DNA sequence: GTGAATGATTGCAT
DNA sequence: ATGCAATCATTCAC
């Protein structure tokens, strides 16, 4: 009520805006002096009440006159200001929204997965990282890799299409509401700030829809990724050449088949596999060899011969008769073979 | 379909 | 952290 009083008082105080000024030519009612606010209010209230008794045409005419009045913009601005100070200020306090951590998380994830960021790099980088984490060999990964990328691109496409749709709907709706409010602002006090706030509310509503989209996109990516990783878990045998390289090292270091970190890296590079795969291979090989030496005898002899021949060739080329690097003291039992290669 | 081979994983010991 | 041993899960040859 205080506000209303102030508002009406303010109205009265606005350069002595009288009923006649507002457009009632035959009215005998006059705006009272500034020194009598009580009387002013009573008078104005009476005027308002009188409107209900008027005919529709009269009211229309009065409205039209009011709209045309030279003081109308000033009057509206005052009303807007009052409205701003009272109703809007109460609601407006908590409207400054801080960045939502949930949406930030989703944004970060979509960016990291290459869904929301620039087209190239992200997705394949994530796939490569996934491949590396799974320890898959690079030569067999290409099919699944491209499959992963294709699926990710599909998700990306859907995501962007939906996002665009929402953004378009949002801007259309915002325009509609803004036009509506601008239209209404001719007949009731609506400040630009109020329109701005309304737009912010609309944007918030739409961004909550966008968050749902982001959430479901993230879920889709996670599912795709877990499927991809599961697929990577599928074992692929190493190629023949890689097995040969590993066996060569194993049997030529039978006394101490424990490659150093550097040797593992070297072998991994040669075989096109990861260091941990080399470690796995040697772990498996050692235990399986130890468990059943007899079974590996033939293989051991084969590689021993190969090593001996290679060494012989090397020494022949270097004209130096150094023996091959197969010291065998205290290690795994060596296979039986003659130095010339006969079993 | 079956069994052997083989890469990966897990739990434990050092 | 590394290696061993057992085991799992998949591939491959038959």
Q: What DSSP character marks residue A188?
A: S
Range with the lowest mean pLDDT among A32-46, A73-87, A294-308? A32-46
The pair of three-digit structure tokens given for residue A177, joined into one six-digit string: 């509401």
Mind listing the pLDDT tens digit for each residue in A53-83?
Answer: 777 787 788 777 777 777 777 777 777 677 7
Give the mean pLDDT of A134-160. 60
| Residues whose C-beta lies under 7 Å from strand B | A 134-137, 233, 235-238, 243, 277, 280-281, 283-284, 288, 295
Nucleotide nearest to A283 in CA–C1' terms: C3
| Bases of chain C with protein Cβ within 7 A | 2-7, 9-12
pLDDT per residue as tens digits for the range A2-23: 444 444 444 443 433 444 444 4
User: Which of residues A334 and A86 earns the better pLDDT score?
Assistant: A86
| Residues A207-260: tens digit of each pLDDT | 888 888 888 887 777 666 665 655 445 678 888 889 989 998 998 888 889 999
CA–CA distance from A305 to each of A69, A251, A315, A329, A341 (Å)?
111, 10, 15, 19, 5
Where does residue A61 rank: exposed (0-12), middle (13-18), buried (19+ CB within 10 A)?
Answer: middle
> Quick check: A114 and A127 in contact, CB under 8 A?
no
Spatial contact of A285 and A250, defined as CB atoms under 8 Å apart: yes
In this structure, is the dihedral angle defined by the CA atoms of residues A43, A44, A45 and A49, taken in order, positive or negative? positive
Protein-to-nucleotide distance from the CA of A237 to the C1' of C12, whole angstroms: 10
How many CA atoms lie less than 13 Å away from A29 in the CB half-sphere?
17
Report pLDDT for A204.
87
pLDDT at A264: 92
Cβ burial of A337 (10 Å; 0-12, 13-18, 19+) is middle
Separation between the CA of A126 and the C1’ of C8 (whole angstroms): 28
| Confidence label for A148 from pLDDT (cuts 50, 70 and 90) | low
| CATH class label, A240-307 | mainly alpha
Per-residue pLDDT band for A329 (boundaries 50, 70, 90) equals very low
More confident residue, A263 or A53: A263
The arithmetic mean of pLDDT across residues A294-321, rounded, is 78
0.75 exceeded by pTM: no
In Å, what is the separation between the CA of A237 and the C1' of B5? Answer: 10
Distance A252 CA to C9 C1' (A): 31
Model confidence pLDDT, tens digit, residues A154-200: 778 888 888 898 889 988 989 888 888 888 877 777 777 788 888 88
Distances from the Cα of A3 to the Cα of A13, A84, A128, angstroms: 15, 12, 66
Whose CA is closest to A303, among A287, A319, A317, A289? A289
Query: Which bases of strand B have any atom within 7 Å of the beta carbon of a protein residue?
Result: 5-10
pLDDT score, position A8: 40
Average pLDDT score, chain A: 70
Per-residue pLDDT reduced to its tens digit, A313-328: 877 776 654 544 444 4
């Amino acid at each position: 009520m205080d506000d209303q009083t102030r508002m009406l008082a303010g109205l009265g105080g606005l350069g002595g805006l009288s009923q006649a000024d507002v457009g009632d030519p035959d009215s005998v009612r006059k705006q009272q002096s500034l020194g009598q606010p009580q009387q002013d209010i009573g008078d104005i209230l009476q005027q308002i009440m009188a409107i209900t008794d008027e005919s529709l045409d009269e009211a229309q005419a009065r409205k039209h006159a009011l709209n045309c009045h030279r003081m109308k913009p000033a009057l509206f601005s005052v009303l807007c200001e009052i409205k701003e100070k009272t109703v809007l200020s109460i609601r407006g306090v908590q409207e400054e929204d801080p960045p939502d951590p949930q949406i930030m998380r989703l944004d970060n994830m979509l960016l990291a997965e290459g869904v929301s960021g620039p087209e190239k790099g992200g997705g394949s980088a994530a796939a490569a990282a996934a491949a590396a984490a799974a320890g898959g060999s690079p030569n067999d990964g290409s099919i699944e890799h491209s499959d992963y990328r294709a699926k990710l691109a599909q998700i990306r496409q859907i995501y962007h299409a939906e996002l665009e749709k929402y953004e378009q709907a949002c801007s259309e709706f915002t325009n509609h509401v803004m036009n509506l409010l601008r239209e209404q602002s001719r007949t009731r006090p609506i400040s630009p700030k109020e329109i701005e706030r309304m737009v912010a509310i609309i944007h918030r509503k739409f961004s909550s829809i966008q968050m749902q989209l982001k959430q479901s996109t993230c879920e889709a990516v996670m599912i795709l990724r877990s499927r991809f990783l599961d697929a990577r878990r599928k074992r692929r045998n190493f190629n023949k050449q890689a097995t040969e390289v590993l066996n060569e090292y194993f049997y030529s270091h039978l006394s101490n088949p424990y490659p150093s970190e550097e040797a593992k890296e070297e072998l991994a590079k040669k075989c096109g596999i990861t260091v941990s795969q080399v470690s796995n291979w040697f772990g498996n090989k050692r235990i399986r060899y130890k468990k059943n030496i007899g079974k590996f005898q033939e293989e051991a002899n084969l590689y021993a011969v190969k090593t001996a021949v290679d060494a012989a060739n090397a020494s022949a080329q270097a004209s130096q008769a150094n023996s091959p690097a197969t010291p065998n003291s205290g290690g795994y039992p060596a296979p039986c073979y003659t130095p010339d290669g006969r079993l």
